[in-house]
Amino acid sequence: MSRIHIRYGTPISLDDFAEELSNKDVDVNTAAQSVVRKVNARVELGLVELTVNAVDWETICATNMARQLLWTNEDDISLKDWVDVNQQLVASLDVAPSSPQATAAKKALCRYNALLHHSGIQHSVLAFLVPSQTPTNLWFTATKRMLLRLPLAFLRFSSFLPSFLFVLPGYFTGPLAQKVLAKRDEEEAHSQFKAIAGGLGISLNVASLFALLWKLQSAGFYNVPRAGSTLGKIVQVIGATYLSTSLLLRWHNLLVKGEFAGGCIFGDSKLTTHAFNS
C-alpha cells in the first residue's frame, strides 16, 4: 500500500517579471525569452527542493536500500520528513572525494537491492524471518519462526479472506498493467499504472456487488420505507453498494497494515501482510 503526501512549492509570481516585459527599451521577443528562462529556472529549483536528487541511478538504489535497512517499517518515517531523510542518505553515500569505504558500501547496497528486486522479496520479510542477531543456522531459524507463526498467519488470513477476494482483481490487473505498459526506466509510471489498473480491476467487483445487491433488493431481502419507485430503489442500491465497498476496503486496508483492533488475537505477526505486499 502506498502513502501520499502532497506538497506545493513556493508560488511563482509573474508580477516579478512585469517590469521586464513592459520595458519599451528592450525588444519584446528578447524580453519574453529572458522571462521564460527565469521562470523555468524557478520551476527547476522548486522541483529540486521538493524531490530526492542524486548524481546517478546507483546512488538512488543504494539510498532506497539504506533506508530500508535503517527503517524496516518505512511507515515510521513521517511523509513530511521523507525527502529530507532520503536526501541526507544521498549526501552520505555521495561524498566527494569518494572514499573506498563509501564506494564499497554503495556497491553492496546496489547488489542487495538488485537481489531483492529480481527475487521479488522485501527486506522487511527477511528481517522478520531472520533477526539481526542469530546465534544458530539461518535456515533453521527462518524455518522455525515461520512454522511457529503459521497458525496465527492462517487465522489472520481467514479473517482477511472476504476483503481480499473483493480486491483480488486489482492484485492481478495492477501488476499486469505495470509489466506491460510501464517503461522500465520510469519508476513513477510503475506506481501510476498499478494504481489505475488496480482500481479498474476492483471496479469489476464493485459492479458485481451492485448487481448482487440489486437482485437482493428486488427479491425483498432488504428495503427502505418510501423507496418504492425505481429511482428510490436505484438510490438505495447505490447507497448499499457504497457502504459495502467502503467497509470491505477499510477491512482490507486495516488488516494489510497489521493494525487490527484487539491485536492480542493476532499478536504482532506480519508474515501475511508482507506476503501480500510482496
Q: 22 versus 114: which is more confidently predicted?
A: 114
Residue 151: enclosing H or E segment and its boundaries?
A: helix 138-181
Q: 163 versus 144: which is more confidently predicted?
A: 163
pLDDT surpasses 70 at 134: no
List, in order, residues 6 or more apart from 45 with CB less than 8 Å away.
none
Q: What is the pLDDT of residue 98?
A: 72
Mean of the pLDDT values across residues 85-99?
83
Q: What is the pLDDT of residue 274?
A: 35
Q: What is the pLDDT of residue 22?
A: 81
Q: 16 versus 221: which is more confidently predicted?
A: 16
Q: 22 versus 207: which is more confidently predicted?
A: 207
Q: What does pTM read for this prediction?
A: 0.53
Mean of the pLDDT values across residues 21-36?
84
pLDDT band at 217 (very low <50, low <70, confident <90, very high): confident
Q: What is the pLDDT of residue 224?
A: 61
For residues 29 and 113, give the distance between their C-alpha atoms in angstroms, rounded to a whole number. 50
CB 272 within 8 A of CB 125: no
Q: What is the pLDDT of residue 136?
A: 56
Q: What is the pLDDT of residue 225?
A: 59
pLDDT surpasses 80 at 243: yes
Q: What is the pLDDT of residue 257?
A: 65
For residues 115 and 174, give the distance between their C-alpha atoms in angstroms, rounded to a whole number. 23
Q: What is the pLDDT of residue 273?
A: 33
User: Hey, how many other C-beta atoms are within 10 angstroms of the C-beta on 170?
Assistant: 21
